[in-house]
Homo-oligomer: A and B are copies of this chain.
Amino acid sequence: MANSASGEGVAERIVRVLETFGVDRTVQTASEIGRRAGLPSSTAHRLVDELVRAGILERDDERRLRLGLRLWELAQRGSTALRLRQAALPHMERVQAELREHTQLAVLEREEALFLERLSHPEAVSNITRVAGRLPLHASSSGLVLLAHADPALRERVLGSPLRAVGPGTVTDARALRRLLGEIRRTGFAAAPGSIEAVSTGVAVPLRDRGSVIAALSAVLPRDAPIAPALRALREAAAGIEAGLRAARED
């Protein structure tokens, strides 16, 4: 259907157009979109016009484009991410009120940790994650929990590929990482001091549904803060979220 000369479909070209938008680039011209998506100018202009008609992009008075609210609405409405997030939010609020640090919810997506939600406290320590942001599985505490419980084939793929250092404490040695993942499965939590940023320690616990780990719940603490209180709050929240997911299924 509607393939270009390269054999790429329109849906893939649309995704390439959407990918040119980001947290730091919410407004662009059609020409900028075309250049960044690697599309010929006439193709880019036609596709942008079509996306505006469909409500996926919006054009302002200066003919600059931004993502349409309609896209957000469509993605949001039918998404399983939204369900998990809604089940988790009240419990995350409780964790955050208690710890007064960042509290986050992440899932495994295309071999990375994708952050579905983040609650922040104005006085919390530094934290580079963003809602809809990603971090490598081996680097963040959430990613480590997801990796520890991932499909063994995926785990071996990650262990077999180069492990980039994100922070000064990132575990980049495959053997050390394998030991760490076993420990996370045994103890039921991951602590990652300085793995993302030197000043902070991530602490994460798994969230289970129907027996499988579906997400990680984490907090970002100052580097030398005790982790026991955070771990207690996260575990209590995880149990609450899991009970909520079970109850929603039985409705």
A161 at the interface (CB under 8 A from B): no
Q: State how many angstroms separate the Cβ of A122 from the closest Cβ of chain B.
A: 7
Q: Is the CB of A79 within 8 A of B54?
A: no
A12-45: contact bitstring with B at CB < 8 Å (1 yes, 0 no)? 1011001101110110000000000000000100
A74 at the interface (CB under 8 A from B): yes
Given contacts A10-B2, A93-B93, contact A80 B54 (CB under 8 A): no
Chain-B contact segment, one of A82-90, A180-188, A191-199: A82-90
Q: Is the CB of B71 within 8 A of A67?
A: no
Q: Is the CB of B82 within 8 A of A132?
A: yes
Q: Is the CB of A80 within 8 A of B93?
A: no
**Secondary structure of the A contact surface, majority rule:** helix
A234 at the interface (CB under 8 A from B): no
Q: How far is the CA of A81 from the CA of B109 in the complex (A)?
A: 23
Q: Which residues of B contact A18 (CB under 8 A)?
A: 74-75, 78
Q: Is the CB of B14 within 8 A of A11?
A: yes
A229 at the interface (CB under 8 A from B): no
A-B contacts, 8 of them at CB < 8 A, read: A1-B46, A10-B10, A15-B70, A67-B75, A69-B81, A71-B74, A71-B75, A86-B131
Q: Identify the 4 closest CB pairs spanning chains A and B, nearest first.
A: A21-B78, A2-B2, A76-B132, A75-B75
